[in-house]
């Protein structure tokens, strides 16, 4: 029994080093981060975080600090499946998505981290343990960059050790997208893989044309060509066999992933623990993908996801998160020959630099 | 051009006259309500509201008062489709459900009310106009009531003018549920129709057994036998042809309704404008149902929904909302011979008693 003695929720507003753009998000110059700290009666503390677009943090913090905190107070921190279900159900009527899934994530990660720290076990071993070395790709956010800066960003990733680089699509014309993607493919070394992410820029008919035009580039995947909840659209696009499809950062529940996979709409399920309710549902999606003969990839939060993918036989790629939280963490992950290694420190092994963070606290 | 000059968001915590229980919600002794007021440059004001379980209002108010307010400020209030899409997209990454759909709802209703008041037109005419008289049913919440109180509640609804009454299922055993439902059917006059609502109490296998046991009672529908996002489960249950199925209060987007309808999983789509993003998406679901040869019913918020159903040729039943907001409204709806009539006052025609509400303001 590890009774939950203290729960602390903080909201931070973090600036980005430079404004970056993705189609659905638009130009971002900063982001919100909600951090949950859960301390048990023995004084052991677990930490979880989730990030979202600027201005959306207050709702997430309100859910975490209100109804979810009320579920957890005084309970046995070890019974995560039970606590997760109670948190989910408490917010069911006004949940199943958006701020609730993010708030759940922060607390669920804190509970898993706490469990790992109590046991002295790193998450990747706790979750099953497969291979601590995980292939990584650079999830560059660069839709607003002029061509030269776009290409420089791709090469900077290669120089940083990546062997796979993603760029964004969704410029005003398909012709421009194809030109930029072809230029990137030409610019990157032949043995560096390339992905593209449209962030929902297109209708289904536009996506078909885009996929025909991009197919010669031999992308590892095309991500989110259309809206995330158009199951029939995904199934149609995938049936064409032109480019493998990735999707999932905008799915907030396990049943949403189950529906997309059942519809035959995805090659690379891409859950994000910060948007789908935490480690508990992420692992269910990863296992669901495996059972369906599919790989699993992650979105964002590479410092935690590296542990999860290191526990999955079907792990394909870890996205290296462009938001740069490394600058407020001790011992950030490093990249070597296109891979990251999950640390063997207890829990997720992330220690925030609270003093540096304090300057960004807004709630 | 009706430029938006002022937006006011208030959060109220309202007690219920007596504690009521539904399976997924548990026992409720009060609820939260977020009210949005939008005033244009000419001083015309539109009002919208949404309700949710106690404690979940702060997150909804934070979304409405933060990112959504920022979208609306200074814009032309008349261009609701455009504003709705921009609000939806702004909160897309941390949305598609929960608090965001509710916050959208309050603002969308306020925009429609404003439009009606500017034009001097009641909503039901503005939205198309079909028949102001809408069949109504009593959506009683009574899972926690002992048998006698349950039956008294059903008869009280008949005496109040209802010709259709719904009761709740989800007691600890199916045998008890069947006994209570059979007793209610015996107790109600033969010409009064009866519905039942399990509020997600069952797994699919349990729902099959429940439907076999309840089929002899000739229910108009069985509502939410299982989790709202189990599309395959709904399709299976409906294929049995035992009892027509109703669902929708826990679907938060038009694509979610499209997926359920496409799966063949529902007889009575039941959108709730307060949970699915407002009047704009509700009408799309209603028209989608019509195009698929299905009726449409509403959930909660009868004072606004009466207008929407009065604009739908496929309207089947208006749920009379058990939360009793009538007590803080001038000229509440009345029931006569099992029907309500949409008022011919401009907009939705609801005027809150702000003085009475003030005592319940919490944010």
* pLDDT tens column, B182-204: 999 999 999 999 999 999 999 99
Q: What is the DSSP string of B277-339?
A: TSHHHHHHHHHHHHHTT--EE--S-HHHHHHHHTT-TTEEEEEEPTT-GGGGEES----BTTE
Q: What is the pLDDT of residues A29-50, one digit of tens each?
A: 999 999 999 999 999 999 999 9
Query: Rounded to an integer, what distance in angstroms lies between the CA atom of residue A261 and that of residue A251?
Result: 12
All residue ranges of chain B with pLDDT < 70 are none
Q: What is the pLDDT of residues B212-237, one digit of tens each?
A: 999 999 999 999 999 999 999 999 99
Instruction: List Cα–Cα distances, B357 to B15, B46, B55, B215, B304, in angstroms.
Output: 11, 17, 18, 44, 18
What is the DSSP-derived secondary structure letter of residue B67? I
pLDDT of residue B9: 98
Q: Are B332 and B303 in contact (CB under 8 A)?
A: yes
pLDDT of residue A345: 97
Q: What is the pLDDT of residues A103-122, one digit of tens each?
A: 999 999 999 999 999 999 99
Q: Are B195 and B220 in contact (CB under 8 A)?
A: yes
Q: Are B350 and B114 in contact (CB under 8 A)?
A: no
C-alpha angle A311-A43-A14 in degrees, rounded to nearest 5: 65
Q: Are strands A26-40 and B164-168 parallel, antiparallel or unpaired?
A: unpaired
Distance from the Cα of residue B139 to its chain's centroid: 10
Query: Rounded to an integer, what distance in angstroms lies between the CA atom of residue A101 and that of residue A114?
Result: 20
Residue B262 contacts A where some CB pair is shorter than 8 Å: yes
Q: What is the DSSP string of B160-218?
A: TT-SEEEEE---SSHHHHHHHHHHHHHHS-TTSEEEEE-TT---HHHHHHHHHHHGGG-
Q: A67 CA to chain B: closest CA distance, Å?
A: 6
Q: Are A345 and A116 in contact (CB under 8 A)?
A: no
Instruction: List Cα–Cα distances, A286 to A84, A85, A160, A185, A292, in angstroms.
Output: 17, 18, 28, 30, 10
Residues of B in contact with A101 (CB under 8 A): 97-98
pLDDT of residue B280: 98
Mean pLDDT computed over A204-223: 98
Q: Are B45 and A86 in contact (CB under 8 A)?
A: no
Nearest neighbour of B96 by CB, restricted to A52, A250, A262:
A250
Residue of B nearest to A257 (CA): B229
Which H helix or E strand runs over A116? Answer: helix A98-119
Query: Rounded to an integer, what distance in angstroms lies between the CA atom of residue A207 and that of residue A215?
Result: 12
Query: Rounded to an integer, what distance in angstroms lies between the CA atom of residue A144 and that of residue A27?
Result: 8
pLDDT of residue B321: 83
Query: Rounded to an integer, what distance in angstroms lies between the CA atom of residue A59 and that of residue A95?
Result: 12
pLDDT of residue A322: 72
Rg (CA), chain B: 20
pLDDT of residue B1: 80
pLDDT of residue A323: 81
Q: What is the pLDDT of residues A306-347, one digit of tens each?
A: 999 999 999 999 999 878 898 899 999 999 999 999 999 999
Q: B140 CA to chain A: closest CA distance, Å?
A: 17
pLDDT of residue A100: 98
Residue of A nearest to B67 (CA): A55
Query: The pTM is what?
Result: 0.96
Query: Rounded to an integer, what distance in angstroms lies between the CA atom of residue A59 and that of residue A42?
Result: 31
End-to-end CA distance of chain A: 31
Instruction: List Cα–Cα distances, A103 to A67, A273, B37, B98, B104, in angstroms.
Output: 10, 11, 28, 12, 19
pLDDT of residue B36: 98
Q: A75 CA to chain B: closest CA distance, Å?
A: 19
Mean pLDDT computed over A239-254: 98
Q: Are A207 and A218 in contact (CB under 8 A)?
A: no
Instruction: List Cα–Cα distances, A98 to A151, B48, B92, B295, B316, in angstroms.
Output: 34, 21, 8, 29, 31
Q: Are A114 and A1 in contact (CB under 8 A)?
A: no
Nearest neighbour of A99 by CB, restricted to B25, B94, B249:
B94
Residue B96 contacts A where some CB pair is shorter than 8 Å: yes
Q: Do A97 and B92 touch (CB under 8 A)?
A: no
Query: Rounded to an integer, what distance in angstroms lies between the CA atom of residue B46 and that of residue B113?
Result: 5
Mean pLDDT, rounded, of chain A: 97
Q: Whose structure tokens read 């303001």? A: B361
Torsional class of A300: left (φ above 0), alpha (ψ -120 to 50), beta (otherwise): left
Q: Are B326 and B347 in contact (CB under 8 A)?
A: no
- Length in residues, chain B: 363
Interface of A with B in 120-159 (CB under 8 A): none
Rg (CA), chain A: 20
If pLDDT is split at 50, 70 and 90, which confidence band does A154 have?
A: very high
| Mutation to test the A interface, candidates B98, B234, B323, most A Cβ within 10 Å | B98
Nearest neighbour of B95 by CB, restricted to A25, A98, A249:
A98
ipTM of the complex in this document = 0.94
């Amino acid at each position: 029994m590890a009774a939950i003695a203290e729960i602390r929720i903080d909201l931070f507003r973090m600036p980005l080093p430079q404004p970056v753009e993705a189609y659905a998000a638009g130009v971002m110059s900063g982001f919100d981060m909600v951090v949950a700290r859960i301390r048990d009666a023995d004084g052991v503390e677990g930490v979880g975080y989730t990030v979202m677009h600027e201005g959306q943090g207050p709702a997430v913090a309100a859910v975490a600090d209100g109804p979810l905190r009320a579920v957890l107070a005084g309970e046995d921190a070890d019974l995560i499946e039970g606590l997760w279900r109670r948190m989910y159900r408490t917010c069911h009527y006004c949940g199943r998505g958006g701020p609730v899934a993010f708030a759940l994530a922060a607390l669920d990660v804190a509970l898993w981290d706490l469990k790992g720290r109590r046991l002295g076990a790193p998450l990747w071993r706790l979750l099953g343990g497969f291979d601590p070395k995980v292939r990584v790709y650079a999830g560059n956010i660069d839709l607003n960059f002029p061509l030269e800066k776009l290409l420089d960003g791709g090469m900077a990733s290669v120089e940083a050790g990546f062997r796979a680089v993603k760029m964004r699509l969704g410029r005003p014309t398909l012709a421009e997208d194809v030109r930029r993607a072809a230029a990137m493919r030409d610019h990157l070394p032949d043995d560096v893989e390339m992905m593209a992410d449209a962030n929902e820029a297109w209708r289904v008919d536009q996506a078909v044309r885009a996929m025909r035009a991009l197919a010669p580039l031999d992308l590892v995947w095309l991500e989110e060509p259309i809206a995330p909840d158009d199951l029939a659209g995904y199934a149609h696009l995938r049936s064409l066999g032109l480019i493998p499809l990735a999707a999932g950062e905008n799915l907030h529940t396990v049943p949403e992933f189950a529906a997309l996979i059942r519809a035959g709409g995805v090659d690379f399920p891409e859950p994000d623990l910060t948007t789908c309710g935490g480690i508990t549902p992420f692992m269910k999606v990863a296992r669901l993908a495996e059972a369906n003969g599919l790989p699993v990839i992650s979105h964002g939060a590479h410092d935690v996801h590296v542990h999860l993918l290191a526990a999955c036989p079907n792990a394909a790629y870890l996205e290296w998160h462009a938001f740069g939280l490394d600058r407020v963490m001790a011992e950030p992950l490093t990249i070597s020959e296109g891979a990251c290694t999950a640390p063997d420190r207890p829990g997720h092994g992330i220690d925030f630099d609270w003093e540096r963070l304090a300057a960004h606290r807004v709630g």
